[in-house]
Amino acid sequence: MAVDPGDTLSLTSHGMQIERQSAPYVTLLADDTALLAYDATAPIPPLRDGNPAGYGLQGLREFAQGLLGIGLAQYLAQGLASGAEVPQAYLRHGIVYQVEVVFPDATSQRWSYGFDRQRQTVQRCPDDVSAQVRLCITASALVDWCLGRCSYFAVRTHSRRSAQVYDIVQTAQGIMAQEAALPDLLTHYILDAMPGAEHRGTDWLDYAIHLWSRGLDNKREE
Which pLDDT score, from 0 to 100, does residue 219 have? 41
Which pLDDT score, from 0 to 100, does residue 15 have? 84
Which pLDDT score, from 0 to 100, does residue 3 have? 86
pTM above 0.85, yes or no: no
The predicted model gives 7-26 an average pLDDT of 87
Contact 103, 88 (CB under 8 A): no
Residue-wise pLDDT tens digits, 89-138: 999 999 999 999 999 999 999 999 999 998 999 999 998 899 999 999 99
Residue-wise pLDDT tens digits, 179-193: 888 999 999 999 888
Judge: domain 47-164, CATH 3.10.20: no
DSSP 77-89: HHHHHHT-HHHHH
Contact 104, 139 (CB under 8 A): yes
pLDDT grade for 203, boundaries at 50, 70 and 90? low
